[in-house]
Amino acid sequence: MNRICEIFGIEKPIIQGAMAWAATAPLVGAVSEAGGLGVLGVGFAPPEFVEMQIRETKKLTDKPFAINVFIEKEEILSRVTEVAIAEKAPVIYADTIIGLDPALTKKYIDIWHENGMKVVVKASILNDAVIADNAGADAVIIKGWEAGGHVTYETTMTLVPLAVETLSCPVIAGGGIIDGRGIVAAMALGAEGFEMGSAFLMTEECDVHPNVKEAIIKSGDMDTVVTGSCTGEPCRQVVNPLSEKLCRIEDENPKAVAADLIREMASSSLRLAMADGDMVNGAVMVGQCASRLNKVKKAADVINDAMKEAKEIIGSLSL
Amino acid sequence: MNRICEIFGIEKPIIQGAMAWAATAPLVGAVSEAGGLGVLGVGFAPPEFVEMQIRETKKLTDKPFAINVFIEKEEILSRVTEVAIAEKAPVIYADTIIGLDPALTKKYIDIWHENGMKVVVKASILNDAVIADNAGADAVIIKGWEAGGHVTYETTMTLVPLAVETLSCPVIAGGGIIDGRGIVAAMALGAEGFEMGSAFLMTEECDVHPNVKEAIIKSGDMDTVVTGSCTGEPCRQVVNPLSEKLCRIEDENPKAVAADLIREMASSSLRLAMADGDMVNGAVMVGQCASRLNKVKKAADVINDAMKEAKEIIGSLSL
């Protein structure tokens, strides 16, 4: 049996990415109901919203799902943990943008475990993955640079095998995976689970503004860009007037000046795109695989088509 | 039978990367003699040096090998083509940093074909791959962003399947491949051949300064960096005093100013590292996979170990 399925009590080793303003109850319920692990993208949300989203999700599925929390400000972490315990959330999907605090990570993984929850931690550098593994995470998600949203600099092809050879817990690969090809590639690299974000953005159940899906369909090769490296929080998004403005600021200014300007401009840009459909000032955070995403599907079809294709590819490989 | 082996007349579908100042006759001969395709990294070299290297290679192997040419300045292209024809070079490995000229590409692929040579073209954006395919290339190498030296921005996980689904000729994957894991991942993505650069830098036969191999052994996660994006010719190298200086110049200056400063500083930096072992002012161009390269092997062992591991992985995959 697949270890990721065993640990999280799911039928298919597919994890849906914790996308803020996109991974809300309708998508999460659909993914979990189809046998994957739905993840509420509520990492920056207030506890009341988290509680409401958990309750909505439970109306749609009685299978396991996860809630996204950030291992950063303990005040928020503690309040969201209370909600998670009260609502009996089955899985915690913890992360930070870059640089996990080892003590805080260990403290909360222990609390979550004591309360019967499973814990998966997302990392995009090896050191964060090691911290999570040492702190007792049940599995670690390795997010490669090709993924959407916040990333660091190592790609899936590089970081997944490095993590597999270094960690004691099972590894889930994320970044560049949208179908059976990506799943089998990740398996070859040593991953036992597969996170897809962008592919689930392109589902009927994903409650984002239609402009977002249209922008992804239109995107081809080289149509995403990483902005804000100067802030220490690089972020991949679709090339549009906002991203061009951010890049221009980075090009034309010394690093420290650019960082201040970009932080202010980027702060509510994800909401502007996802909720309001603003394709001028909003940030459509999606992976490089946007170039291969050309239609909107049902979440269950994303999972089942990918699993079917993966099995076919495995059967066809020979050297 | 594997199409890449069939086209190039080789036994194993492994192509050695065209590394300037590193891929000279001793390495090329060893790779071809072991059944892969050795490639002379003479893309920027004068025709006399190319001629000498071809002759040296022929002393070491009578199996097929390739010579690297740049589809840029026609004067050089024409003179190197004369040498290749006179010396009966079996394969041309053509590329440019970014932006192939369609007419020039077609003109020279025709000339090479008329003279009995096979042609593989390296591309790191889809558009260059399409130009090469339309011009009649026998195969295209897709080089992902995780690779060493000159790169663009799309990773192996993203660009390889996109190219496989777009092109009519077979695709060879490069970037992040050092072993059987990488080979099987690339196969899953649809590639039929596998280019390795960094792994061959780390061979006994690769005639670079020992400091280069030592720097790669020491490199871990996040120890390579892409410099010179402002010049339009981004380049991946090991983090060292030179790379830090280049990054500081990019951080502290408007783009146009930084580009001029960087071009001057970077111009002979590869030679300084590879030939002289200068780890302060020299550029050690290697892929992100440097984090997993920890020993020097024989070139034949790089090939045979990777093929053996790939077969084992294929036999072990199940979902």
Question: How far apart are the C-alpha atoms of A214 and A219, rounded to whole Å?
Answer: 9
- The answer to whether residue A161 neighbours chain B at the CB level (below 8 Å) is yes
Question: How far apart are the C-alpha atoms of B176 and B103, rounded to whole Å?
Answer: 31
CB distance A281 to A242 below 8 Å: yes
- So what's the pLDDT on residue A44? 85
- So what's the pLDDT on residue B309? 98
The widest CA-to-CA distance across chain A, in whole angstroms, is: 54
- So what's the pLDDT on residue A253? 87
- So what's the pLDDT on residue A266? 86
For A291, nearest residue in chain B (alpha carbons): B162
Q: Which residues of A touch B161 (CB under 8 A)?
A: 181-182, 292
- The answer to whether residue A185 neighbours chain B at the CB level (below 8 Å) is yes
pTM: 0.97
Sheet strands side by side (includes B149-150): B149-150, B235-238, B224-227
- So what's the pLDDT on residue A251? 86
- So what's the pLDDT on residue B55? 98
- So what's the pLDDT on residue A267? 83
- How much of chain A exceeds pLDDT 90, in percent? 94
Of the candidates A2, A189, A314, which has its C-beta nearest B181's C-beta?
A: A189
Number of Cβ within 10 Å of residue A295's Cβ equals 8
For B73-118, the three-class secondary structure string (H helix, E strand, C coil) is CHHHHHHHHHHHHHCCCCEEEEECCCCCCHHHHHHHHHHHHHCCCE
- The answer to whether residue B257 neighbours chain A at the CB level (below 8 Å) is no
Q: Confidence class of residue A151 from pLDDT cuts 50, 70 and 90?
A: very high
Phi, psi angles (nearest 5°) of residue A72: -135, -95
Question: How far apart are the C-alpha atoms of A173 and A163, rounded to whole Å?
Answer: 10
Q: How far is CA B312 from the centre of its chain?
A: 26
Residue with tokens 């960690």: A167
What is the pLDDT tens value at each position of chain B, 319 positions in all?
899 999 999 999 999 999 999 999 999 999 999 999 999 999 989 999 999 999 999 999 999 999 999 999 999 999 999 999 999 999 999 999 899 999 999 999 999 999 999 999 999 999 999 999 999 999 999 999 999 999 989 999 999 999 999 999 999 999 999 999 999 999 999 999 999 999 999 999 999 999 999 999 999 999 999 999 999 999 999 999 999 999 999 888 888 899 999 998 888 999 999 999 999 999 999 999 999 999 999 999 999 999 999 999 999 999 9
Q: Is the pLDDT of residue A131 over 90?
A: yes
CB distance B178 to B305 below 8 Å: no
Q: Confidence class of residue A259 from pLDDT cuts 50, 70 and 90?
A: very high
- So what's the pLDDT on residue A226? 95
Q: Of B8, B137, B140, which Cα lies nearest the Cα of B63?
A: B8
Question: How far apart are the C-alpha atoms of A137 and A193, rounded to whole Å?
Answer: 15
Cβ contact B311–A319 (<8 Å): yes
Residue B95 to chain A, least CA–CA distance (Å): 19
